[in-house]
């Protein structure tokens, strides 16, 4: 998973570098806002169903029940494409009024529409693989979608005019083409089914997923609100410079994210608090080891590679790398909360993070611009990690107590009655 994640992050970084080189700060800022709108719309439209699937599928032994669950998830994913497209277009239209008119141009909106389809595939499909325990396939396909985006961007730069909408369209078309191939593969292995969905499963997926939506959407806004707020305060050009530093700073997130995905399943199957602690420590060490060379390389190469107009990205990169180091525990703990079925707890963390993000970024960006947004990220990520780790350790310890010989029967009864609700205590019956 780490290897595939490195390939995915590498392709995204290459695409960002090429776009910055070809477009300059202003058009690069437009492209970033468009892609960000597509990614957030994909998360919102999914209604958290992918997390509900991952929390439930590994605990099912009955094959008929598994097929009903997969079919229900398939139809929810199809509905996601419609809702996500509408939300992304509305978001860009609103940004066109508030930030830059180019964001609401018809050609740009068309590119955002295609980009949303690729982002939906990145949200819905990997979790289908992970729910079945096929981490290698899921991460490999995610890397393939990112690679398709890189190829599409290069082709657009060669064949089309070098504008924000054309490069975004090329990248999105490449991602969507690979996503279409993945759709066929998922269907062939039984992880996407077009049979009739089950109403009860649909209800369970939505009920549980909506609880986790506060985490996924809250996290997306916490990680991306700085772009929108900077755009409104300082313009698209500043967003282009800032996002270049932010993209490079996210390289240390790759291995912690992979560790988090494995921890997700381990918590679902009943791991202990010591396992969580080891996973968090490994994530922090991995972030530190990968962050140091990124800091050195970025300091010396940003200006030669991107040009003098991106020179301000160098000090921003150093601050954002500190933020990424503090983010590593959250990359593990947030997924652990979802894996344990504690959707309400995870949702409250996300909601608190969303509120804190808006407050911190608005205050800091208005006073200190891009530097204020970078330091606000440091504070925000530290708070998110601390809250998520503390809550996960408490939940895992409480579950272990509930599954002791005294409380085992009661725990099973609670879990069966609650389904995906906050009180659910998953009790797997096989090491699937």
- pLDDT (tens digit, 9 = 90+) per residue, 373-417? 889 999 999 999 999 999 999 988 888 777 665 444 444 333 333
Lowest mean pLDDT of 240-249, 275-284, 385-394, name the range: 240-249
Listed residue (326, 19, 289) closest to 168, CA to CA = 19
Q: Report if residue 423 sits inside a domain.
A: no
What φ, ψ does residue 29 adopt, rounded to 5°? -65, -40
Task: Give the pLDDT band (50/70/90) at residue 239.
Answer: confident
41: CB partners within 8 A, 6+ apart: 84, 85, 87, 88, 91, 116, 119
Q: Percent of the chain scored above 90 by pLDDT?
A: 24
**Which residue do the tokens 């277009």 mark?**
89
Q: What does the alpha-carbon distance between residue 390 and residue 280 come to, in Å, rounded to a whole number?
A: 12
CB 250 within 8 A of CB 226: no
Does residue 183 lie in a domain region? yes
Q: Classify residue 192: in a domain, yes or no.
A: yes
Higher pLDDT, 326 or 127: 326
How open is the CA angle 371-98-106, to the nearest 5 degrees? 120
**What pLDDT score was predicted for residue 416?**
36
Task: Report the pLDDT averaged over residues 190-204.
Answer: 85
* Lowest pLDDT segment from 165-174, 179-188, 196-205: 196-205
**Torsions phi, psi for 131 (to 5 deg):** -60, -30
Residue 426: per-residue pLDDT: 38
Does 290 reside within a domain?
yes
Residue 24 belongs to a domain: yes
The mean pLDDT value of the chain amounts to 82
Highest mean pLDDT among 27-36, 318-327, 419-428: 318-327
The number of distinct structural domains making up the chain is 1
% of the chain surpassing 70 pLDDT: 91
Domain that holds residue 390: 2-418
Say which residue, 403 or 143, is predicted with more confidence: 143
Most confident of 218-222, 270-274, 386-390, 415-419: 386-390
What mean pLDDT comes out for the span 140-166?
89
Please give the average per-residue pLDDT across 24-49, as a whole number.
85
Q: Please report the pLDDT score of residue 405 as a whole number.
A: 56
Q: Confirm if 164 and 379 have CB atoms less than 8 A apart.
A: no
**pLDDT at res. 418:** 35
Q: What is the CA radius of gyration of the chain?
A: 21
Q: Is residue 385 part of a domain?
A: yes
* Cα 63 to Cα 430: distance, rounded to the nearest angstrom: 13
**DSSP, res 430:** S
* Interval 79-108 mean pLDDT: 89
Mean pLDDT is highest, among 205-219, 248-262, 408-422, for 248-262
Please report, for residues 71, 192, 194, the alpha-carbon distance to residue 197 in angstroms, rounded to integers and kept in the order given: 5, 11, 8
Tokens matching residue 379: 């504070």
In this structure, is residue 428 part of a structural domain? no
Predicted confidence at residue 342, as pLDDT, reads: 85
Residue 1's pLDDT is 67
- CA atoms of 123 and 130, how far apart (whole Å): 12
pLDDT over 50 at 431, yes or no: no
The answer to whether residue 429 is domain-embedded is no
Mean pLDDT of 90-113: 89
């Amino acid at each position: 998973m780490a290897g595939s994640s490195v390939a995915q992050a590498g392709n995204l970084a290459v695409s960002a570098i090429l776009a910055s080189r070809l477009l300059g700060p202003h058009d690069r800022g437009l492209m970033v806002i468009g892609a960000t709108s597509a990614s957030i719309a994909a998360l919102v439209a999914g209604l958290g169903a992918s997390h509900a699937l991952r929390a439930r599928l590994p605990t099912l032994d009955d094959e008929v029940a598994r097929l009903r669950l997969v079919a229900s998830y398939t139809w929810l994913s199809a509905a996601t494409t419609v809702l996500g497209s509408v939300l992304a277009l509305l978001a860009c239209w609103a940004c066109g009024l508030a930030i830059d008119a180019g964001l609401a141009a018809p050609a740009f909106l068309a590119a955002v529409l295609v980009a949303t389809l690729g982002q939906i595939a990145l949200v819905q499909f990997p979790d289908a693989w992970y729910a079945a325990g096929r981490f290698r396939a899921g991460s490999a396909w995610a890397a393939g979608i990112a690679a398709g985006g890189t190829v599409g961007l290069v082709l657009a730069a060669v064949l089309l005019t070098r504008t924000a909408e054309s490069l975004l369209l090329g990248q999105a078309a490449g991602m969507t083409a690979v996503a279409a191939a993945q759709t066929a593969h998922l269907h062939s292995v039984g992880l996407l089914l077009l049979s009739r969905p089950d109403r009860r499963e649909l209800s369970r997926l939505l009920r549980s997923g909506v609880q986790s939506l506060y985490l996924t959407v809250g996290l997306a806004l916490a990680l991306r609100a700085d772009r929108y707020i900077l755009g409104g305060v300082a313009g698209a050009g500043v967003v282009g410079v800032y996002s270049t530093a932010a993209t490079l700073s996210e390289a240390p997130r790759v291995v912690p994210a992979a560790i988090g995905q494995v921890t997700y399943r381990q918590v679902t199957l009943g791991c202990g608090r010591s396992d969580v602690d080891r996973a968090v420590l490994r994530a922090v060490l991995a972030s530190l080891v990968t962050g140091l060379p990124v800091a050195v390389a970025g300091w010396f190469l940003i200006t030669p590679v991107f040009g003098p107009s991106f020179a301000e990205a160098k000090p921003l990169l150093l601050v954002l790398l500190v933020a990424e180091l503090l983010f590593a525990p959250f990359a593990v703990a947030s997924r652990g909360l979802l894996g344990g079925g504690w959707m309400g707890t995870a949702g409250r963390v996300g909601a608190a993070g969303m509120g804190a993000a808006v407050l911190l970024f608005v205050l800091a960006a208005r006073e200190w611009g891009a530097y204020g947004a970078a330091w606000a990220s440091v504070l925000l990520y530290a708070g998110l990690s601390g809250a998520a780790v503390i809550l996960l350790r408490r939940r895992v310890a409480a579950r272990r107590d509930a599954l002791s010989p005294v409380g085992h029967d009661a725990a099973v009864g609670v879990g069966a009655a609650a389904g995906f609700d906050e009180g659910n205590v998953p009790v797997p019956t096989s090491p699937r």
